[in-house]
Amino acid sequence: MNSKSLLNINVVNGVLNISIGIDALKTSIESGELDVSAGGDFVINDLELFVVDFTHELRSESEIGTTVVHKMFDMAALKSLENGGAGCDVLSDESK
């Protein structure tokens, strides 16, 4: 794995691993659909500095203890359910 490594997601020994090289992350963010309300394109001028702040934001907890990573997991679980839900289901209030 190096700084140009593309997004890699796997499960090894019961651990979910999500990794991406920082150069690939920069390319992904700058070429993505990030909505910058001030207008213009999102540009990363100092990758090393940005990554420090970016990882801080990934770990930063809301008032209820969730992070943007938790929200990403929730979104992926919902998409999984919407696409057939292998291995998951929705319990009604009565069956809880």
Name the residue among 13, 6, 55 with its Cα closest to residue 27.
Answer: 6
Quote the tokens at residue 46. 């100092």
Q: State the chain's mean pLDDT as an integer.
A: 91
Residue 71 belongs to what H/E stretch?
Answer: helix 68-82
pLDDT-derived band of residue 73, with 50, 70 and 90 as boundaries?
very high
What is the pTM assigned to this prediction?
0.81
Q: State how far the Cα of 81 lies from the Cα of 85, in Å rounded to an integer.
A: 4
Q: If you search the block for the tokens 């090393």, which residue do you land on? A: 48
pLDDT at 36 over 80: no
pLDDT at 95 over 80: no
What Cα–Cα distance (Å) separates residue 33 from each residue in 30, 42, 72? 8, 9, 16
